[in-house]
Structure 1
Amino acid sequence: MANIKELQPDSSPQAAFGARVRRLREARSWNQEDLAAALDYSSQHVSAVETGRKPPTRRLSRQLDVAFDLTDTADSFEREWTELRRGSLLEGFPEYMEHEGRAVEIRLFEIGIVPGLLQTPEYAWVLANSAVKRGAITEAQAEERVTTLAERQAALVRDRPPMLFVIMDESCLRRPIGGHAVMDRQLTRLIEFAASPTTLIQVAPYSIGERRTFDLPVNLLTMSDRSVISYAESQAQGHLDRESSSVLTMLTAYHQLQAEVLSQADSVAMIEHIRKGTP
Structure 2
Amino acid sequence: MVNRKELRPESSPAAAYGAQVRRSREARGWNQEDLATRMGCSSQHISAVETARKPPTLPFSRKADVVFGTAGSTDSFEREWRNIRHGSLLEGFPEYVVHEGRAVELRLFEIGIVPSLLQTSEYARVLADSAVQRGAITPEQAAERVSFLAQRQAALERARPPMVFVVMDESCIRRPVGGSEVMDAQLERLVAFAAHPATMLQVAPYDIGERRTFDLPVNLLTLPDRSVVAYAESQAQGHLDRETASVLPMLTAYHQLQAEALSQAASVAMIRELRKGTP
- Scaled by the length of structure 1, the TM-score of the pair is 0.74
Question: How many Å separate the matches in 2 of 1:85 and 1:273?
Answer: 41
Q: What residue number does 1:135 align with?
A: 135
Shift of 1:73: 5.2
Q: RMSD value over aligned CA atoms?
A: 3.0
TM-score, with structure 2 as normaliser: 0.74
Gaps of 5+ in 2: 1-7, 18-51, 66-76
One-letter code aligned to 2:259: A
- Can you list the C-alpha shifts for 1:38-68, whole angstroms capped at 9, x where unaligned? xxxxxxxxxxxx999xxx8x9xx69xx9xxx
1:205-220 alignment, distance < 5 Å? 205-220=205-220
Residue of structure 1 equivalent to 2:119:
119
Question: What SS does the aligned partner of 2:276 have?
Answer: helix
**C-alpha distance in structure 1 between counterparts of 2:186 and 2:113, whole Å:** 11
Task: Tell me, yes or no, if structure 1 residue 178 matches structure 2 residue 181.
Answer: no
Tell me the distance in 1 between the aligned counterparts of 2:83 and 2:219.
24
Tell me the distance in 2 between the aligned counterparts of 1:264 and 1:184: 19
CA 1:180–1:95 in 2, change beyond 3 Å: closer, same or farther? same
Say whether the 8 Å CA contact 1:220–1:229 is kept in structure 2: yes
Name the amino acid aligned to 1:190.
L
1:74 Cα shift? 3.5
Give the match for residue 23 of structure 2. none
2: CA distance, partners of 1:99 / 1:189 = 25
Could you say which residue in structure 2 is the equivalent of 1:43? Answer: none
Q: Is the 8 A contact 2:88 2:137 kept in 1?
A: no
Task: Could you list the structure 1 runs, at least 4 aligned residues long, displaced by more than 3 angstroms after superposition.
Answer: 8-11, 14-17, 70-75, 78-83
1:16 CA drift (Å):
7.4
1:95 paired residue number: 95
Contact kept? 2:108, 2:220, Cα under 8 Å: yes
Deviations 1:132-188 (A, max 9, x none): 000111111111111111111011011111000000000000000000000000000
Distance 1:172 1:108 in 2: 13
Residue by residue over 1:212-260, the C-alpha shift from the partner in whole angstroms, topping out at 9 and shown as x without a partner, is: 1111111000111111100011233211111112111011111011111
Q: Name the CA distance, whole Å, in 2 between partners of 1:110 and 1:264.
A: 16
Percent identity over paired residues: 72
Question: Where does the alignment leave 5 or more consecutive residues of structure 1 unmatched?
Answer: 1-7, 18-49
Are residues 223 and 16 of structure 1, via their aligned partners in 2, closer, same or farther at CA, if it must alter by over 3 Å? closer
Q: Is contact 1:180-1:278 (8 Å) kept? A: no
Which residue pairs with 1:165 in the alignment? 165
Report Cα offsets for 1:253-276 as digits up to 9, x if no partner. 110111111000000000000111
Cα distance in 2 for partners of 1:141, 1:208 equals 37
Partner of 1:150: 150
Greater shift after overlay, 162-171 or 144-153?
144-153
Give aligned pairs, total.
229
d(CA) in 2 for partners of 1:15 and 1:191? 46
